Amino acid sequence: MTMPNALHVVHDVKETDLAAAELAAGQFLQALGISTESESMRGTPGRMARAYAELFSPRPFELTTFPNDEGYDELVLARNIPLRSVCEHHLLPFVGTAHIGYLPGHRILGLSKLARVLEHFACRPQVQERLTKQVADWLQTHLDPQGVGVVIQAEHTCMTLRGVQAIGATTTTSTLLGLLRTDGRSRGEFLTLTGMPG
Ligand SMILES: Nc1nc2c(ncn2[C@@H]2O[C@H](COP(=O)(O)OP(=O)(O)OP(=O)(O)O)[C@@H](O)[C@H]2O)c(=O)[nH]1
Ligand SMILES: [Zn+2]
């Protein structure tokens, strides 16, 4: 188990070759028969490269935890955290919200870190199931709480804007760990507060 550490900086180090990405984006558009000769589209390959680089670049953050001096042992839940990620099958966005909660143990987490952990795992080609589990597992490892719950609801544009074009369809995934999985009262409270049927 990784011990909580207030000075731990979470950062994905990754090389991004924007020039190569811009060249490839131009060739990609050309292969699709889309001309980039007009003044307004001349910069499009570069914009595409920078846009995807941004979608795949999570902001580094400091993992701040505090001692749970009062022995608070009820649910801490951040609801409606905005989510944007990119599906790994089509590289199209999926967008929605996440509800992330935990039952504290010896430490509590700076609240904003719940959203930052989500961003950390969302800024890469993803599937919603893996994203949900990665956020929950990360919190379990770094905070060692009594329980963790993550619910994500998202619209996958690869499913709504193309392909089957199921406009308005959303997908819900959840991961419950520790007491939020095994203790009926805690589980029920979490699911009620996140709007999930028990
Ligand atoms: N399980 C899961 N599937 C996803 C996610 N995002 C996209 N997909 C699916 O990934 C699948 C890829 O299937 P393929 O049959 O290879 O792709 P496709 O021919 O474009 O399929 P259609 O979307 O049905 O046209 C599709 O069914 C998508 O809906 C996700 O987060 N989780
Ligand atoms: Zn997709």
- Residue 61, helix vs strand vs coil: strand
Q: How far apart are CA 130 and CA 34, in angstroms?
A: 34
**Which phi and psi angles does 164 have, rounded to 5°?**
-70, -15
Centroid of ligand 1 to alpha carbon of 88 (angstroms): 9
Q: In this predicted structure, what is the pLDDT of residue 2? A: 46
Q: Please list the ranges in the chain whose pLDDT falls under 70.
A: 1-7, 197-198
What tokens does 88 get? 């790994």
Helix (H) or strand (E) holding 193: helix 184-193
Q: Is 142 a catalytic residue?
A: no
Domain annotation for the chain: domains and CATH numbers: 18-55 (no CATH), 61-193 (3.30.1130.10)
Please check if 123 is assigned to a binding site. Answer: no
Q: In this predicted structure, what is the pLDDT of residue 196? A: 82
Q: Is 156 a catalytic residue?
A: yes
Centroid of ligand 1 to alpha carbon of 151 (angstroms): 20
Q: Which one, of 176, 154, 193, lies nearest residue 76 by Cα?
A: 193
Q: In this predicted structure, what is the pLDDT of residue 7? A: 52
Q: Are strands 61-62 and 93-103 parallel, antiparallel or unpaired?
A: unpaired
Rounded to two decimals, the pTM is 0.93
Q: What is the ipTM of this complex?
A: 0.94
Q: In this predicted structure, what is the pLDDT of residue 198? A: 61
Q: Classify residue 58 by its DSSP letter.
A: P
